[in-house]
Structure 1
Amino acid sequence: MRFGVNIPNYGPTASPDAMLTSVRHAEDLGLDLAMLSDHIAVTSDVAAQYPAPFYEPLTALAWLAGRTERIRLGTTVLILPYRDPLLTARVTANLDRYSAGRLVLGIGIGWAEEEFAALKIPYAERGRITDEYLAALHTLWSEDVASFEGTHTSFHNVHTAPRPLQSPRPPLWIGGNSPAAIRRAARHGDTWHPLGVTPQWLEKQGLPALRAAAEEAARPTPTVALRTPLRVTTTPIPDADRLPGEGTLPQIETDLATLATLGIAHVLLDPRYREPTRLQPPETDRTHLEAMAPLLTTHQP
């Protein structure tokens, strides 16, 4: 397995320096990936979970790319309906080149109804918009002069250079736990990116659904990148109350071994997953990650 960390780009403790320090810390620990969250309009429903200030992820990743060397950089997740696919394709292709091919693009459909209203995007259509934008992005990333005709986006004879450095494009992670998200990952993605689920759910529901969706789409089964909490405790947490990555180091070691057995390819650790940890200092995030680092080393390729 490979490991990454979700770097908070929101809240009163967020700043360019704090993000850079945390990303460099993850790079020094040998982690594979650092990712940022996405919101554009911090409406009240967004602010309840992701308070201002909120640093826009693509500009932040471009800035971080010039200040790091090895670690891959990505989004967990970019809300695809918020940006015209022409803009998304252009910015991500440029970002892939600025980072020397280190971009990982996680995408999702979004959940904040007030934010959709502020951006004048129909909330009820967000799944269909996402599917169409994904199809348009594949065209824009793969053709020198691209055309596309759809319900939500259309363009003709658009010159796309520079194309992404990675071929045919940056790795595409499709976020979400729903049946529709799993089908979307099978049709369009390289990796399915579920959030906050147990190994038991993955084994009994998520992974069988992913394999069935890939078979239906006549595509290889995507790899799996689980986003899960990072919270190291000194006393055990009852299994009924925790997710992988939470608890004592022996509990977390068992989690990692179980995920490896299930064939999970990536684990993205989120130190701000739980409500009580939402506004903890970045130093606390880094302390938890450092405590877990020896376990990660044993499971990395």
Structure 2
Amino acid sequence: MRYGVNLLNFGPGTTPRNLERQATDARALGFTFAMISDHIAVTPDVHEVYPAPFYDQFVLAAHLAGRVPGLQLGTTITVIPYRHPLQTARMAANIDQLNDAGFILGAGVGWSAAEYRTLGVPFEERGAITDEYLAAIRAAWTEDPCSFEGRYVSYEGIRTTPAPASAQLPVWVGGDSPAALRRAGRLGEGWHPFMPTLQGLRAKLPVLAAAAEEAGRPVPELVPRLQIVLDERPDTEDRPLGHGSVDQIRGDLHALAELGATHVLFDTYPGDPAARGTAEDDRQVLETIVEKVVDTSTGEVR
């Protein structure tokens, strides 16, 4: 497996300098990729969970591409309906060209109805918009000139180069709802659930495989994002993978390997600004993971 780090691009005290430090530390610890979260309008409900300042994921990825070589960059996730698909396609392809280690487009529908209202995008139609926009993004990566006719966007003869540098810029589809699993099977190279449980993965992976088979596509890779909380937890069916002791998290990684996971993203953010530690606390958590749980040089679980 390959291991990555979720860069925390928000909150009081976040600066370009400490964002670069996060990425540099990730590379120094042997992580091969780093991903960045998405919000455009930091509405009150967003601010409660992901407080301002909030650095744009694409701008930050482009910034880091020139300063931290050797680290694949990506988004976890891009809220696809927030931007015109031609804009998303161009930004992702450009960063894939500019970053020597490439780019991953994480794709999802988001959760903030207030943010959708602020941006003038219909929240109730977010799933249908995401599906159409992802199809348009793929077309823009492979067709130049590109024409597209859809319910939400239509255009003709648009020049879209540069194409991505990668033969296949991977799309990791987030979410674990039935609709998200269908979307991942039809449109993704990876399925990117957040805070999964082992029981949930075992139940949903066959659904993902069936969706891919129906679409005539390969089954997407399992590429989860684990929130890391180091403490002792009962081994119940609802324990999120990544929550527990070092031994429990080591077991979680072994279980993911048995399920065929190819990438695992570690996220040190506890989900509550009041519970967030310092940048040094985050680094110590990642150091513990590298020293006691995974060997980032080989990809093996210790």
TM-score grouping bracket, smaller chain normalisation:
over 0.9
Query: Quick one: distance in 2 between partners of 1:23 and 1:101?
Result: 13
Matched, 1:194 2:193: yes
The residue number in structure 2 matching 1:238 is: 234
Letter paired with 1:270: D
Query: Quick one: distance in 2 between partners of 1:17 and 1:253?
Result: 32
208 and 273 in structure 1: CA distance in 2 versus 1, 3 angstrom threshold: farther
Letter paired with 2:81: P
Aligned residue for 1:268, secondary structure, equals strand
The residue number in structure 2 matching 1:266 is: 263
Residues 185-236 of structure 1, C-alpha deviations (whole Å, 9 max, x = no match): 1111100111111112111x11111111111111110001111111234xx2
6 and 154 in structure 1: CA distance in 2 versus 1, 3 angstrom threshold: same
Q: Is the Cα–Cα contact under 8 Å of residues 70 and 101 in structure 2 kept in the other structure?
A: no
Query: Quick one: distance in 2 between partners of 1:273 and 1:208?
Result: 30
* Cα drift, residue 278 of structure 1: 5.1
Query: Quick one: distance in 1 between partners of 2:229 and 2:148?
Result: 45
Matched, 1:222 2:220: yes
* Cα drift, residue 110 of structure 1: 1.1
Matched, 1:73 2:69: no
* Cα drift, residue 161 of structure 1: 1.2
Letter paired with 1:252: I
Root-mean-square deviation over aligned CA pairs: 1.5
62 and 278 in structure 1: CA distance in 2 versus 1, 3 angstrom threshold: farther
Return 5+ residue gaps in structure 1 as ranges: none
Q: Is the Cα–Cα contact under 8 Å of residues 35 and 73 in structure 1 kept in the other structure?
A: yes
Q: Is the Cα–Cα contact under 8 Å of residues 141 and 164 in structure 2 kept in the other structure?
A: yes
The residue number in structure 2 matching 1:97 is: 97
Query: Quick one: distance in 1 between partners of 2:275 and 2:79?
Result: 20
Query: Quick one: distance in 2 between partners of 1:93 and 1:65?
Result: 13
TM-score of the superposition, structure 2-length normalised? 0.94
Aligned residue pairs total 297
Matched, 1:18 2:18: yes
Identical columns (%): 46
219 and 278 in structure 1: CA distance in 2 versus 1, 3 angstrom threshold: farther
Query: Quick one: distance in 2 between partners of 1:64 and 1:210?
Result: 33
Query: Quick one: distance in 2 between partners of 1:195 and 1:37?
Result: 12
274 and 120 in structure 1: CA distance in 2 versus 1, 3 angstrom threshold: closer
* Cα drift, residue 132 of structure 1: 0.6
Aligned residue for 2:135, secondary structure, equals helix
Query: Quick one: distance in 2 between partners of 1:281 and 1:14?
Result: 11
Aligned residue for 1:182, secondary structure, equals helix
Query: Quick one: distance in 1 between partners of 2:17 and 2:127?
Result: 35
Alignment of 1:1-301 (within 5 A): 1-168=1-168, 170-203=169-202, 205-233=203-231, 236-240=232-236, 242-275=239-272, 279-294=276-291, 295-297=293-295, 300=299
142 and 199 in structure 1: CA distance in 2 versus 1, 3 angstrom threshold: same
Letter paired with 1:26: A
Aligned residue for 1:151, secondary structure, equals coil
